[in-house]
Structure 1
Amino acid sequence: MSSNQIIAVIVAGGRGARARTSIPKQYASIGGVSMLRRTVLAFAHHPRVDGVQVVIGETDHEQYALAVEGIAGLRPPVVGGTDRQASVREGLRALQADDPSYVLIHDGARPFVSSQTIDRVIDALSTAEGAIAALPVADTLKRETTAGGIAETVSRYGLWRAQTPQGFRYATIRAAHEDAEPGIATDDASLLERQDIHVSLVPDEPTNIKVTFKEDFQLAEMILSSQRETRIGMGYDVHQFEAGDYITLGGIDIPHTHKLKGHSDADAVLHAITDALYGTIAAGDIGQHFPPSDEQWRGAASDIFLKHAAKIVRDKGGRIVNVDLTIICEAPKIGPHRNAMAERIAALLEVAPSRVAIKATTTEQLGFTGRREGLACQAIVSVQLPMEA
């Protein structure tokens, strides 16, 4: 009996040879985030989608795990077949126990599908066995001769470009795939067309491109930039010195005449960056996420806090653009440790070291830092986020 669910099947088992990437194209980066992760998030975060089933290549388990790390609610991946049709069939078979009412079949290489397109496809299924996102053909069409010339102009009237997602009643599309001859379908709707089953056309958006060729990655970056905004977050932290022989700053240990006093390891640099990251998404501050009253954080390494903030930003589709730090102290000297500190912060944030700027200054012996009672750090972070985030 049908479970009245809507489950998305993401087809991501191909090699993507035409893209000429060193890894399967669906795992290549767009704006610092793998294409497949962007695709999966579009469905995993959609309020009307109850589950996501990804179909992957036989040797892609490790890359897949990295691409979807931290995304909740995903079903275990299944291995696809020799072509797209076979891969979709395997994805549909994996849903047999759930027996959902509807499925949405989508290409893993279409990372910019909008929630509005997903809604329109789902809505169309209330009156049709199937519905596909599509775009009307706007260009004049020519048929080619065998010699490479023009044989004729083909009327574009009534012609549409088939896109994904393509949505279907699960029982209908599952039966169509099980009955189909191998290799006869480049899209799923054509299997229903062969049985004269009505499939609705749903208007899509031009930005829902399929990344196929290497040049498409440049177009994808342009689309991404047009759909994003830059947000700035600021963080500030202070810690007092106490008896000790080193401080932890920027994720590294620096020999000193004192150590920094705090509930955790008192890394003022990482704390300031963490608060700045939370600020870009209005997610409170470090004390809300890791209260000093909670004993589990006593003596904790601050990279835990920084990784948490960075993950929240990434899960919202964010990309960390740069970090600008000013460390305020009379001692220790920051210069000899600047490069190591930048490399450590960059590794924690998964950005290039060139995106982490570290400056140091004093207060000319004024105030608590001037009296060498402690140090302070200011951090400014810029992040690119989707407009709706």
Structure 2
Amino acid sequence: MRTDVIVVAAGRGQRAGEGLPKQFREIGGQSVLRRTLTQFAAHPAIRRIQLVIHPDDEELCALATRDLAGILTPVAGGATRQASVRAGLEALAGDPPDLVLIHDAARPFVSAELIGRAIAAAQEHGAAVPALALVDTVKALDAEGRLATGPDRARLRTVQTPQSFRYALILAAHRAHVGAADLTDDAAVAEAAGHAVAAFQGAAENVKLTTPEDFVTAERTALASLADVRTATGFDVHAFGPGDHVTLGGLKIPHEFGLSGHSDADVVLHALTDALLGTIGAGDIGQHFPPSDPQWKGADSELFLAHAIGLVREAGGRIAHLDATVICEAPKIGPHREAMRERIAAIAGLPIGRVSVKATTSERLGFTGRREGIAALAAATVRLPWTD
């Protein structure tokens, strides 16, 4: 059956503390929203994903959805979650699915198994939600603030998303509820329209990020999932030629010569690019940017490094550290070292403490010692999801 997903990402997340809305904050090097969307985009049973966002978040949303397949043009949410979901449902009406899953953007650890259970439950029941049995005993407070006997824990459940429905059922339920009291979830909307809602097994890891403490825990969870730590190296060399500057680490440094190369001949960024490509087994810079291709003549090497960084992130990876060593007699690298670190860190989206730039001479030996050119060595360390 054709199955679409509505991801609700219009909230402000005020309880999560200061900063960006929580769905756009990063955990494990990726925004919460991108992590959520990636799970649905990768599932073979999902046809399309309809995002519902705040109008102020269009640029953040574009960044989070870049290169992801199946993402429809986002629609603006309403003043309440209920209104936002209805906007998402109406956006699908032109080419309606058979089933629809409705998910909170702030639940980034939704698994393929849970998505599969949600689809199966909607097919069988028409309306279903993931639920977990309570672990702790629940008590009530009396008028004096004293603990009193609570409800039977065995009958209670905590409810999660994705909540799953036959599309026509939940659309009609939301339309019928316009103007009525706001309800906390879509199961309540379906129930208000007279539909029975089934429960299926939720997942303990499918937590909703709400408080600053949740983000600390989520960061640990994200890092634990990146158990495949890889290190690779890169090397590049370019000869001196006519010019009045060299480009190193993204900086133009005055010099009596330039560097010869098809691009801007930035040996530092070229070596870092190869190192990053090596961590994911993606070949070398020449395969991605052939020197025989005229479009790369004089190109800014920041494009090459950004491309390699993007490939690492598409693989679900997080860059842990970048290290480069420049080998030359001249120009002097020391006065420019910190600016080079800052530029590389900015390109990679890393704290500067995760970028190292060093320099050495070859004691006047070899082509660098004869001042015929500049070489660079690089190493990159990344964390990737473990795969067999």
Instruction: Give the residue type in structure 1 aligned to 2:243.
Output: G
Aligned counterparts, 1:288-367, within 5 A: 288-367=287-366
Aligned counterparts, 1:1-389, within 5 A: 4-180=1-177, 182-195=180-193, 197-229=195-227, 230-388=229-387
Please say if residues 80 and 182 of structure 2, whose CA atoms lie closer than 8 Å, have aligned partners that are also in contact: no
Instruction: Give the residue type in structure 2 aligned to 1:40.
Output: L
Q: Which moved more, 1:153-162 or 1:245-254?
A: 153-162
TM-score, normalization by structure 1 = 0.93
Structure 1: unaligned runs, 5 residues or longer? none
Please say if residues 10 and 55 of structure 1, whose CA atoms lie closer than 8 Å, have aligned partners that are also in contact: yes
1:353 and 1:213 map into 2 onto residues whose CA distance is: 27
Change in 2 beyond 3 A, CA 1:131/1:279: farther
1:292 and 1:386 map into 2 onto residues whose CA distance is: 33
Please say if residues 26 and 36 of structure 1, whose CA atoms lie closer than 8 Å, have aligned partners that are also in contact: yes
Structure 2: unaligned runs, 5 residues or longer? none
Root-mean-square deviation (Å)? 1.9
1:47 and 1:280 map into 2 onto residues whose CA distance is: 27
2:194 and 2:226 map into 1 onto residues whose CA distance is: 42
CA apart distance, 1:196: 5.2
Please say if residues 123 and 166 of structure 2, whose CA atoms lie closer than 8 Å, have aligned partners that are also in contact: no
Q: Secondary structure at the match of 2:160?
A: strand
TM-score, normalization by structure 2 = 0.93
CA apart distance, 1:308: 0.9
CA apart distance, 1:198: 4.3
Q: Which moved more, 1:252-261 or 1:298-307?
A: 252-261
Q: Deviation per CA, 1:65-122, whole angstroms, max 9, x where unpaired?
A: 3333343432111111111111101100000011111111100111111122112212
Change in 2 beyond 3 A, CA 1:190/1:352: same
Q: Which moved more, 1:69-78 or 1:190-199?
A: 190-199
Among the aligned pairs, what percent are the same residue? 52
Please say if residues 345 and 355 of structure 2, whose CA atoms lie closer than 8 Å, have aligned partners that are also in contact: yes
Q: Secondary structure at the match of 1:275?
A: helix
Please say if residues 230 and 381 of structure 2, whose CA atoms lie closer than 8 Å, have aligned partners that are also in contact: yes
Q: Secondary structure at the match of 1:157?
A: helix
Q: Secondary structure at the match of 1:270?
A: helix
Please say if residues 106 and 165 of structure 1, whose CA atoms lie closer than 8 Å, have aligned partners that are also in contact: yes
Instruction: Give the residue type in structure 1 aligned to 2:294.
Output: E
Q: Aligned residues, how many?
A: 386
Change in 2 beyond 3 A, CA 1:344/1:138: same
1:7 and 1:350 map into 2 onto residues whose CA distance is: 32
CA apart distance, 1:153: 3.3
1:22 and 1:342 map into 2 onto residues whose CA distance is: 26
CA apart distance, 1:190: 2.4
2:74 and 2:387 map into 1 onto residues whose CA distance is: 28
